[in-house]
Each structure stands twice: as C-alpha cells, then as structure tokens.
Amino acid sequence: MKMKLKEVYSALKINVENAPDIDITGVCFDSRKAKAGDLFFPLQGDRDGHEFIGSAISNGASASVWQSDHEIPNGDIPYIVVKNVAKAFDTLAKYYLAKVNPKVIAVTGSNGKTTTKDMIAAILATNNNVAKTPLNFNNEIGVPFTILNMPINTEVLVVEMGMDRPGQIEHLSSLANPDISVITMIGEAHIEFFGTRSKIADAKMEIVDHLQEDGRFIYDGDEPLLEERASKVEQEKLTFGKKDMNTLYATSIKAGKTTTKFKTNLWQDLEFDIPMMGEYNVKNALAAILVGQALHVKPETMAKALANLYVTENRTEWLKAKNGADILSDVYNSNPTAAIEVLENLKNISTPGRKIVVLGDMLELGSASKQLHESLADHINTRDFAKVYLVGDEMKALKAKLSQKYSSEDLIWYSKDQLTELTNNIKKELNSSDTILLKASHGIHLENVLNNLV
C-alpha cells in the first residue's frame, strides 16, 4: 500500500484542510504489529479496539482511524474520525482496490480453499506480480486487510473467502468484485449453523453475486448442488473433477506418501506433480490449473509452479515420533469429508508396520453430528487399521458402530479430558515401524498428544 494521508481522507469522503504530509504504507488492526507508516483501525473484537491505540502508537503507527462515538484523545498522531470504523475499513479497501485495479481471483469452499489459493498464486506468479490472502485471513477483517496491504504494483490478487453464516460471502464478494470466482467443494463444515448441505451451497454461491460481467466461474463439476445452482450463472463456467464431463479432469493419479502425480485430459503427455499427499489435493490443483489457463499461463509453466509449491497452511503433515514411527498429523481441523479423504488415502500408502488411527470429535455438525460421526465406520476396518483410538463425546457414536468390527483391545474410547492417558497408552503401543494418524477438530486439542509423541 502507498497513499498520502490526504488521499485517505478523500477516499473516506472526509473534508480536511491542511492534512499532515504523511505516507501511509500499510494498515493494521493488531496494535502489537503496528509499525511506522501504518494506519491503525481500532476494530471491534472481543474488546474494543480503541483500547489499544496507545499500544499502536508506541509501536510506531503513523495515524489512526477513530469512531466518533468515542472521546478523541490527545496524541502525537493524526486521528481520522469516522462514524463506523468497520465501514471505513471496507470503504478504504474498495477505493484502494479500484486504484490498483488488479485481476481478482476469489476462492471459497468447505475444504481446500487455502491450498487452492496457494496453488493459484504460485501458478499466476510465474507471469504476474501476485498478492494473496496471508495465512487464512478470509473473513470480514481478513479480506479488506488483504486488499489494503497488497503492493501498489500488484497485477493479480488472490483472495480467500470463508464463512460461518449466510450473507457473509456476499459481503466479501462485494468488496472484491472478482474477475474469477472459484468454489472448491461443498462439505459439512459449519452445517450446525446452516442445517443442510443445500443451504451451505447457497451460501457458497454468494461468491458469484458480484462476479464481473465478463468474469468466469470455476467450480467442482462433480457436485450436483453446484451444477444445479451454476445453471443460473450467466458468466462463463468451467468445471473440474473426477468425471469426464468436466472441463478439466485427471486421467491418471499416482498417490504417494508426500507427493501426488497426475495427468489430465487436456495435456495427456504432461504429468503434474504436487508435493502433497492425497487425491483430494488433485481437485484443488485442477481448479488452480483452470485459473492459470484462463490467464494464459502455459501448461508446462503451471506444472513447474505446482511442483515447487509452498503451502501456507498444510495442516496434514508427516512427522516422526521419538521412537521413529511415522505420524500423519491433522490436529487442527476435521469434518466428515476431510476425515474420509485422509482415511482413504492412508489406506493406499504402503507402510512397513501397522496403521493406527486416532480420531477426535468433529465439531459444529449440529443435529447431524451422530449420523455423520457414524458414517466414518464405512471407511474404517481391521484390514487397513490395526487399532482405533477415539476421543470425545461425539465419537461415542462411531465407537458403537466400530464395535461390530473391532475387539475392545483394538477399539478404545477416551473423553477429551483423558488425553494424558491416551498419550501414555499410545507410547506403550506404538512400534517404530508403525504409522499413526491423528485427526480432530481443534477443540479436542490433540496437539497436546502430538507434542508428547514427537
């Protein structure tokens, strides 16, 4: 970002004479990360952001926005007084986006949006100056923050959009006005708040509400809920998936422990190689390839970019236990779709010893929780997984189903308060040749188990 303070006043439609000659080179809402050149926005969170203005100033902020219903303090920096800080944040973001005028790629989906965002950015960075959502800053604060902190020479902006309620993505889409909108997939994430996958699909489709008239909509063509809704979209549509009726689909997949190779229908002799486990990541790559093709990146260039991919948030990672056993860790996120995908991919990986799984509750599934936890039973059997450890009240439903397949010695349930006991039992049981999967929603805190194993 690069703007004079006078320009900020103008963008917010505030008339001020003799504005200080200050360069604004970034925005921040976390006072601890404020630095010289930053404009501080005291946004409302668990606490009122105005409480932290002193911290922002001491850390170097050059100016601050201030809401008019708060008493304006004396200070050594300029205050931009507005009626609503959050609305001013959005207004300035829309102004700056129009000023820089990059191509905007918006990405959402129940799973895979962060990975897909990183794949798209890597592909497009081969031909363009690219900025992207940092980490998973994908909400009402994260999206305008992403826009306002992109460099002035940005040619393509890749924006991740998340949601936990209807209308949220429509708002984010209105800020970004994307040239290309991407939906990775529809799963059960946040179904507690939406009730059905159909309603989740409705909410995800808000990403096309502000799609440019000459824009493109790229989505999972294997998903009937999206196919049905896409028929109402007037802009060009491109699909990816497993089925051969899609615009782009994989013709062969070779899944490995740390890499996945595949070919596609469009370039039969070109093999793509992504440094990630899982056939589910092939779909993410297909979405990114369609974006790259739309912006005229050569197939060979895209393959090279994906082969050298660095992923912001690869939650599924391989680690080594202290005794040498392999650990497949995904302790910060879980939902039925993601859990099934990891289980199915782990089945296909060759290991010298036993495969053991530790599954914790999948949260925010609402009234469907029991049924969705039970559904994992179809993907767990004694042939593939020697032992199963389950953690949390919701996992009692899965234990009841699996008790028909497993003995009490090989199927053990723990409450979320018994992680120390679980850890000790795993340490006693785990051999150096074994492979163990740890997967749960973050609220179960399996990271405490993981930290005691590695």
Q: Where is the binding site, in residues?
A: 109-115
> Alpha-carbon torsion 48, 52, 54, 60, what sign?
negative
Annotated binding-site residue numbers for ATP? 109-115
Round to the nearest angstrom and report the end-to-end CA distance of the chain: 41
In degrees, rounded to 5, the angle at the alpha carbon of residue 302 between the alpha carbons of residues 296 and 308 is 150
Structure tokens at 393: 């009240």
Main-chain dihedrals φ then ψ at residue 13, nearest 5 degrees: 60, 45
β-pairing, 103-108 vs 180-183, is parallel
> Is there a contact between 440 and 446 (Cβ–Cβ < 8 Å)?
yes
Contacting residues for 386 by C-beta, under 8 A, at least 6 apart? 354, 355, 356, 410
Classified as helix, coil or strand, 377 is: helix
Give the integer Cα–Cα distance in Å for 391 and 19: 59
User: Of 329, 315, 279, 359, nearest to 435 (Cα)?
Assistant: 329
User: Of 201, 104, 215, nearest to 160 (Cα)?
Assistant: 104
Cα 192 vs. chain centroid, distance in angstroms?
A: 19
Using N-to-C axis directions, what is the helix angle for 85-100 and 168-176, rounded to 10°?
A: 40
Please state, as a whole number, how many other Cβ atoms lie within 10 Å of the Cβ of residue 45. 11
Contacting residues for 449 by C-beta, under 8 A, at least 6 apart? 331, 358, 419, 422, 423, 426, 438
